[in-house]
Amino acid sequence: MNTAVLDSPVGSPETAPDALAGFTIGVTATRRREEFCALLERRGARVVRAPAIRLVPLAEDAELLAATRASLSAPIDDVVVTTGVGFRGWMAAAEGWGLSVDLTAHLTDARLLTRGPKARGAVRAAGLNDHWTPSTESCEEVKQHLLAQDLRGRRIAVQLHGEPLTGFVAELREAGAEVIEVPVYRWLPYRDTSPLRRLISQAISGGVDAVAFTSAPAVLAMLNAARADGLEDALIAAFAGPVVAACVGPVTAGPLEARGVPTVLPDRARLGALARTLARHLPEHSVTRLVAGGHQLEIRGHAVAVDDELKPLPPAPMAVLKRLADKPGHVVARSELRTVLPGGASRDSAEHAVEMAITRLRRALGPSGIVETVVKRGYRLACDRGEVM
């Protein structure tokens, strides 16, 4: 199973203001991006903003207008309302086109199946009656509820929200229903792709500890951008290794899991729950703790805590520290440390770069004696194997 679902009880460590201190998290969201980034930053994270997708304005969406007219061409038997914001957007767009009275009349005569409480609330706010809501808030349960009935000849409108429900719609059609897909809030790639491409490079090079996704289209946009630059395999490898792919829900995680990428999900598909999940998962799974030179070290992301004092590190000293921490107490040769330094360099300049990285690392750590020089051999962290925490 590739998915880890994490519960986040009130008062647990992930609510601490420094739970994500030292970690860098990429955020691909467009809608509610600043709200989500603030949730991460309040826990101490460094956030890289890289919007992956943008919304098609409803008033300009010819596909939504065509779907609305198709819905009005004959009575509707069932309407599947997947999201509250999507349903409200559909009603608002219909009003702008002068079709709201007709649409409301058709919806009044139909059975409205709402996927969750937000969708149900939007239906009721529009003065309409909801007929059924699944306990799981899942489209799968809505589908099974419909398939348990005789759908032959029924007209069913399925309100989408940025993400296609290909299998859902196909099974309803196979059961004999006429299905109208209502594509509210369709996504297109973000106009400026440079922030997303930078995030892809950072993920591959280890410059971020996690990437948070709040929609499947954002996942696909990132994979497509990586593929266009010939980096898709490298990105998948990064997600399968050190970089955590955190997704708001199983639908969002789908494109990654189809490629064998492990994902981390919150117990509920909410932004706050996703932030809490990251604040719990990264300190538990992406931190190296050890004792060196009599000092407690906690290596996390782009920083190291020395006796609980957080000290940010530049990329080169951090890369050297992580390689030394891979073999605590053992000598690591300069030739091996050269291989982890960012960027390429000749042998002579790389030797100097290693020495400079060690000097900067010692200066940043503060207390002496944590990193030892072993003459003519290399460097080591001053700890015994038994001191690894």
What pLDDT shows up at residue 9?
A: 44
- Res 83 pLDDT > 80: yes
Q: How are beta strands 295-300 and 46-49 bridged, if at all?
A: unpaired
Nearest one of 258, 226, 263, 225 to 244, comparing CA atoms: 263
What pLDDT shows up at residue 235?
A: 97
Nearest one of 282, 255, 252, 283 to 270, comparing CA atoms: 252
d(C-alpha 119, C-alpha 362), whole Å: 56
d(C-alpha 244, C-alpha 264), whole Å: 7
Nearest one of 294, 340, 288, 293 to 317, comparing CA atoms: 340
pLDDT tens for 337-372 read: 998 887 655 455 777 889 999 999 999 998 788 999
What pLDDT shows up at residue 8?
A: 44
- Res 324 pLDDT > 60: yes
154 with 178: CB under 8 angstroms?
yes
Which has the higher per-residue pLDDT, 21 or 346? 21
Type of residue numbered 109: D
For 234, the token pair is 């490298």
- The structural domains of the chain, ordered by start, are 3-54+190-285 (3.40.50.10090), 58-185 (3.40.50.10090), 288-387 (1.10.10.10)
253 with 6: CB under 8 angstroms?
no
d(C-alpha 371, C-alpha 354), whole Å: 13
For 226, the token pair is 């990586």
Helices vs. strands in the chain: H and E counts, helices first: 15, 19
Determine the average pLDDT of the residues in 106-124: 95
- Res 282 pLDDT > 60: yes
Under the banding of pLDDT at 50, 70 and 90, the label for residue 2 is: low
What pLDDT shows up at residue 17?
A: 64
Q: What is the DSSP string of 15-65?
A: GSTTTTTT-EEEE---TTHHHHHHHHHTTT-EEEE---EEEPPGGG-HHHH
CB neighbours of residue 37 within 10 Å = 19
- Res 1 pLDDT > 70: no
Residue whose entry in the numeric block shows the structure tokens 């509820």: 145
Type of residue numbered 134: P
Under the banding of pLDDT at 50, 70 and 90, the label for residue 15 is: low
Determine the average pLDDT of the residues in 172-193: 91
Under the banding of pLDDT at 50, 70 and 90, the label for residue 231 is: very high
- Res 60 pLDDT > 90: no
What pLDDT shows up at residue 388?
A: 45
Report residue 222 CA to chain centroid gap: 11
d(C-alpha 109, C-alpha 3), whole Å: 41
How distant, in Å, are the alpha carbons of 115, 123, 131, 132 from that of 119? Answer: 6, 6, 12, 11
- State the pTM of this model: 0.72
For 278, the token pair is 């990251």
